[in-house]
Amino acid sequence: MKQSLMFIPTLRDMPKDAEIASHKILLKGGYVKQHAAGVYTYLPLAYKVIKKIEKIVREELDAIGCSELLMPTLQSKDLWVESGRWDGYGKELMRMKDRHDRDFCLGPTHEEVVTAVVRDSVNSYKKLPVALYQIQTKFRDEFRPRFGLMRGREFIMKDLYTFSTSREDLNTWYLKVRQAYINIFTRLGLKFGIVSANSGQIGGKESEEFMVLCDIGEDTICFSDGSDFACNSELMDLKEGDPSPDGKGTIHLAKGIEVGHIFKLGTKYSEPMNLMFIDVDNTKKPVVMGCYGIGISRLIMAILEQHNTDLKVLWPETVAPFKVHVIPMDKVGSDGYNIANDIYEELKKKYEVLIDDRSESAGVKFNDADLIGIKYRIIVGRRAKEGIVEVKNMETLETKEMSIDEVKGMVF
């Protein structure tokens, strides 16, 4: 990709309203553009990263037998009355009326819709289990949208729902999804922990959150140094130094960003919404459900928080917008540029390559490259005429001088 053609509207000055590193990077680096409080456009650079995150999520969920679908964002009030959440959800629910004065909401989550989808076609144990997920825009009129994509009013979520004949089968799915989440967050290059949580508006009795460890996180995690006990501080009133409730070790506190939440819903939706099936023993029972969310757009910020140094970005290779960044020092049309372009043309047969073909100073190019955060930089400078270019690994900060042919054949 030619950088001049990729719409990356970087800002010259540091945006004043951004308080945390990831938010500053997203705005300054031309990744997102704010539209209204908690509502953003994902510009091409951010959208490339999002698609890579989504691909990893899809691969891991498909691998455990989940199927992807896409449900409506616009949801009718009737279903929400059936579940009892039309009144229960409160002000976070974005409500609206159609031209016939019928009530709708913009989905903050999809338990109602998915329960209705399954109930009309699954009536026997023979058709269970079912595991359905989607990646979709969600709407929540958050009281305090803040930190950019961290707490948006419109955001991208992956939501998965499982439908089982028994509590045991739900437990099996829960553990499979939990492991898939571990795989996903590991592939995303995150340091994270899993904590017991409060199931909030979604309901059910048991839930766990996946927390990316980070000082600016909104959640407080209480964990023991003597066992794997860990919970969200919402759940228990624990202080630094308290004995761990499981009797093993001492409690410590840390901050975290919640990037995933998994719930054993049980029959919270199937009972009021009448999602029943006939079991092997010919009796009618409510379907046992689980639901599992990942904050896709929030993840971009969580990754950035753990992968920047003084606002210089280094994306994990699994989600980086490109593999290689070719940076010619000379202008388009010059011999130096042509050499860079040859390298670009060759490498792009195998890798995603970005070439900085803009007429900008070296300083501007390097500053922007630090915001784009690609691991390998090929700098085509003064020695290009002698057939020598520099390859810099931004992770090890090692720079190697290499011949043009060597670079063209390089394996990244």
> Which residue has the closest beta carbon to ligand ATP?
295
- Work out whether 142 is an interface residue with ligand ATP (CB under 6 A): yes
Stretch that binds ligand ATP, among 126-134, 147-155, 165-173, 236-244 (CB under 6 A): 147-155
Cβ nearer to ligand ATP, comparing 56 with 391? 56
- Work out whether 140 is an interface residue with ligand ATP (CB under 6 A): yes
| Interacting positions 212-271 with ligand ATP (CB under 6 A) | 258-261
- Work out whether 155 is an interface residue with ligand ATP (CB under 6 A): yes
CB 44 within 8 A of CB 8: yes
| Closest CB 115 distance from ligand ATP, rounded Å | 16
| Interacting positions 285-304 with ligand ATP (CB under 6 A) | 293, 295, 297-298
Cβ nearer to ligand ATP, comparing 211 with 394? 211
- Work out whether 54 is an interface residue with ligand ATP (CB under 6 A): no
Closest CA relative to residue 32, chosen from 404, 371, 293, 380: 371
| Closest CB 229 distance from ligand ATP, rounded Å | 21
- Work out whether 135 is an interface residue with ligand ATP (CB under 6 A): no
| Closest CB 79 distance from ligand ATP, rounded Å | 17
Indicate the residue type of 188. Answer: L
| Closest CB 95 distance from ligand ATP, rounded Å | 17
| Closest CB 143 distance from ligand ATP, rounded Å | 10
**From candidates 157, 222, 339, 374, binder to ligand ATP by CB under 6 A:** 157
Cβ nearer to ligand ATP, comparing 40 with 104? 40
CB 224 within 8 A of CB 249: yes
Tell me how many residues contact ligand ATP (CB under 6 A).
17
**From candidates 148, 152, 336, 373, binder to ligand ATP by CB under 6 A:** 152
Binding site for ligand ATP (CB under 6 A): 109, 140, 142, 151-152, 155, 157, 200, 202, 258-261, 293, 295, 297-298
